[in-house]
Chain A
Amino acid sequence: MKKQSYPELGETLYSQTLTNGLRVYLLPKAGYHKTYAVMTTDYGSVDQKFVPLGQSQSITQPAGIAHFLEHKMFEKADHDAFDTFAHYGASSNAFTSYTHTSYLFSATHHLKENLITLLDFVQSPYFTAKTVNKEKGIIGQEIQMYEDDPNSRAYFGTIANLYPNQPLANDIAGTLSSIDAITADDLYTAHRTFYHPSNMSLFVVGKLAVEETLDWIEANQSAKQFAPATAIQRITPTKTGQVTARKTLMTPIERPKVTIGLRGMDDLPTGLARLKYEDALSLGFTLLFGETSPEFLALYDRGVIDDSFGYNIELQRGAHHVILAGEAEDPEAFETAVNEILQHAIEKLQAASDRFVAVQREAIGSTLSAFNSLEAIANQFDDRLYGDANLFDEVGVIKDLTMADVIETTTQFIQASARSTQLILPALSD
């Protein structure tokens, strides 16, 4: 077992890769009453096209299948895993993103039983035509609920504009018609391929004893048979620089919403350098658009932006982008203002060096604070995206950043990026 201390965080992380390939991480937290465990597969909504395990031809599965699979994992022939967790007092849940699917529980008692429940239910699929069809009604409702949510439409619309004709353009949950095509066999195929232990990790954090917890996990895993680990062949679409520059959606809402997306067209560095890239970019956008920036204040005081304004740096397997969004009485003024700042990013950043220490400190503080939350630690932890580096290295990375790093990364990203604007405007309903 590997033991890694992070004295500046006051944390010690234990890790081990089991013989079946499952990567296990344990983070004991003194004083905590609960334990949070999350089991994650490197499989999300974008992984529609792949070569199934043991076959040679690639297939394309319906949009929304990863999310559908997540819903269906809980139900077994004679029980629901949800109830087993409940029996042991645990609350359980799951979520699907573009690139990952995660299953989790949180419990103050019966850690062993809950851990075994988690491992067992994620690793024993059970799907029938009947249960699959019933789920279509539930997920259909979920899709419809998101269709009524203008913020969700603004976000997913922007991502679709940035990546037209790619799996990223599809909503994570799919559409009513795409999920209608999903069969039990499809789910088995996806599960067999992507839920192999070598494509998964388990992160346990909170109240736990390291040796004992690892023993439980190892005993459970060594009792199960898995096909030998093989590299998964995902068929990723050829990257084209093409984006949909602009889209407008009229819908009965109260206030216009503007979302501007910047798709990174530059190649990301790997390992620790990628973490550094992400943090530098984040600091760059904070300097340009954060509350400490004079541009922010000027636009706020002019009423061009308000408290709804925000931005997000997103970096994931195969894609990275920045999303800026807000409500605006005058969408055109909002768009012009944001584009003006982006266009003059170099000069504006060069003029911002006196604010560097402040935003750097802010980033350090916010990263440290995240370590209060078991959920934040486990959910944000990604052991593949940054090579050997991860969340625990982030405070050190931010401390080492310089203003020159920030200017270089941010301007390089902006210059190489492709941009898209998604407008959601009020339509009168009759």
Chain B
Amino acid sequence: MPKQLANGVWLNVIKTSQFKTISMTVDFLEPGQVTALSKRILLAQLLETSSAQFPTQTALASKLSMMYGANYGVNVFRYGLVSGLRFSSTIINDHFIGGQSLLKEMVDFLRTVIYEPLTENQGFEPVTFKRQQQNLVAYLRSLNDDKQYYAEQQLSELYFEEQPFFATSLYGDADTIAGLDAKSLLADYQQLLSRDQIQITIAGDVDEAAVVHALSQWPLDDRTESAMPLIYKREQQPVRRLTEVQPLQQSKLNLAYRLPIYYREQGFYDAIVFNGLFGGTPISMLFKNVREKNSLAYYASSRFDGFTGTLLVQTGIDQRNQAAVEEIIAAQLQAISQGEFSDELFNQVVASLINGRESRQDSQRALVNQAMLNQLVRKNVSAAEWVAAIQRVTPKDVAQVAQRVEQQAVFFLKGEASK
């Protein structure tokens, strides 16, 4: 059961002896905004590599090594309209390392890296700031060499043209990041620390009382706790198309559809099964028909995001096959909407989804994520409840979902091999 430590600050301890490790995350959550997103991404980069007590990577790394190679990371995530800055750490369970107590050390370590950043004159220490800012911008440039990522990002910008918060990559926007300065970013960070909702999640063989005790040294002040809506409902718009030519062997064809069904709302589980049948599993119709049956692609898959009601399709193809692939994709949607799929395939997809959900209980990280999300929406859906909901979905429900899919954007990265 989640425990309220202060107004707007929650602790969730998942006690389990399944793992060799104890995993802890501290999430700072706010309604997402486009510029704030890039700021948070630079913050993550800075706070992951320095703090007042551990001013260099070497100092940080040495501390973590001495804690038996504890993991420490800071990252930014987005669940629909909510944006989170996450500090996470994982340590080895005490009894594998001769009883040395790392739990308190980890909690104290996280406190210092979160609340005592490396500063100078009311700003982040300028040399570190500059270095990390440059590194992040350079990294964003090199990300464009990953063509699968690039195509996905371009499609996202096309589809969410009116919603730059969603169009922005979770790695940030290079121009925004290049324009940030050390002083105002520290001010933003201090505001984040005092205003954001906080969720602390710990999974592992731990005693809740010991955790609460260790956290008593944190400055977890009351803050305004307000409901944070997650779901963004995009309106239907005319289809947008964009083609870009690059000297590549393989072309990427990415498509975005509006599927107005939302996270844990009416039809949500139907949409999950639909996506599994369409392109979300390796037994899906896209995989079978685009890749296997017609040898048209190396990969072809779909993903459904219930926070924005978006269905995305990505394929890696030969540039000559663009039209054929688009036709086959459309034909799969058409077939599903008319119920033209076998019971056997439908049952396979359901079994595969159940396998995936049950398996997630074997991942400490997945347990933490699920607990965090449940707390965010203030509603717990257990693995068993999820499985039961999936089992109630019928082929007819799935056909009805397919009828609601509306194509909205197509991005084609056309590869033309340079000689």
Contacts and interface: CB of A to CB of B under 8 A. Distances in A.
Interface of A: 8-10, 30-34, 82-83, 86-91, 93, 106-109, 134, 137-138, 141-142, 144-145, 147-150, 206, 252-255, 290-294, 296-297, 300-301, 303, 306-308, 327, 329, 355, 357-359, 361-366, 368-369, 371-372, 374, 429-430
Interface string B60-79: 11101111111000000000
Nearest to A88: B351
B345 to A, nearest CB: 8
B217 interface: no
B418 interface: yes
Interface in B240-282: 246-250, 282
B382 interface: no
B20 interface: yes
Contacts of A363: 69
B144 to A, nearest CB: 5
B56 A297 contact: yes
Given A89-B352, A297-B58, 12 more contacts: A8-B96, A89-B351, A106-B355, A292-B62, A300-B131, A303-B134, A359-B65, A362-B64, A363-B69, A365-B97, A369-B21, A371-B20
A86 B284 CA distance: 11
A410 to B, nearest CB: 18
A358 B19 contact: no
Contacts of B61: 290-292
Interface stretch (B105-113, B220-228, B359-367, B370-378): B359-367
B298 interface: yes
Given A141-B316, A307-B139, A90 B355 contact: yes
Nearest to B17: A31
25 contacts: A8-B96, A10-B96, A83-B283, A86-B348, A87-B351, A134-B295, A138-B292, A144-B249, A144-B298, A145-B249, A150-B145, A296-B58, A297-B58, A303-B134, A307-B139, A327-B142, A361-B65, A361-B69, A362-B65, A363-B69, A365-B91, A366-B69, A368-B96, A372-B20, A372-B21
A108 B247 CA distance: 44
B46 to A, nearest CB: 12
Which 3 interchain pairs have the tightest Cβ spacing?
A365-B69, A89-B351, A365-B68
B92 A148 contact: no
B392 interface: no
Indicate the member of B61, B66, B67 with the most A CB atoms within 10 Å.
Answer: B61
B236 interface: no
A206 B297 CA distance: 34
Given A31-B17, A141-B316, A369 B90 contact: yes
A88 B248 CA distance: 39
B344 interface: yes
Nearest to B356: A91
Interface string B288-304: 00011001011100000
Nearest to B128: A301
A30 B18 contact: yes
Given A362-B64, A365-B69, A148 B352 contact: no
A308 B282 CA distance: 31
A227 B194 CA distance: 72
Contact of A89 (B134, B292, B355, B415): B355
A169 B264 CA distance: 51
B66 A358 contact: yes
Contact of B362 (A83, A137, A297, A374): A374
Given A109-B355, A365-B69, A365-B92, A141 B283 contact: no
A361 B362 contact: no
Contacts of B141: 254-255
Interface of B: 16-21, 56-58, 60-62, 64-70, 90-92, 96-97, 127, 131, 134-135, 138-139, 141-142, 144-147, 246-250, 282-283, 291-292, 295, 297-299, 316-318, 344, 347-348, 351-352, 354-356, 358-359, 361-362, 364, 415, 418
Contacts of A429: 246-247, 418
A255 B142 contact: yes
Nearest to B63: A358
B359 A106 contact: yes
A58 to B, nearest CB: 33
Given A253-B145, A368-B92, A148 B58 contact: no
A429 B244 CA distance: 13
A34 B58 contact: no
B293 to A, nearest CB: 9
A364 B68 contact: yes
Contacts of A303: 131, 134
A293 B316 contact: no
A34 B138 contact: no
A148 B355 contact: no
A248 B145 CA distance: 18
B63 to A, nearest CB: 9
Nearest to B96: A368
Nearest to B135: A306
B65 A148 contact: no
Contacts of A368: 20-21, 68, 92, 96-97
Contacts of A9: 96
Contacts of B292: 138
Given A34-B362, A90-B355, A369-B92, A306 B247 contact: no
Contacts of A369: 20-21, 69, 90, 92
A307 B131 CA distance: 11
B58 A294 contact: yes
A331 to B, nearest CB: 14
Indicate the member of A108, A150, A363 with the most B CB atoms within 10 Å.
Answer: A108
Indicate the member of B17, B248, B355 with the most A CB atoms within 10 Å.
Answer: B355
Given A138-B298, A369-B92, A364 B356 contact: no
Given A362-B69, A364-B68, A86 B352 contact: yes
Contacts of A374: 362
A142 B364 CA distance: 32
A87 B316 CA distance: 27
Given A144-B250, A292-B62, A33 B359 contact: yes
Contacts of A293: 58
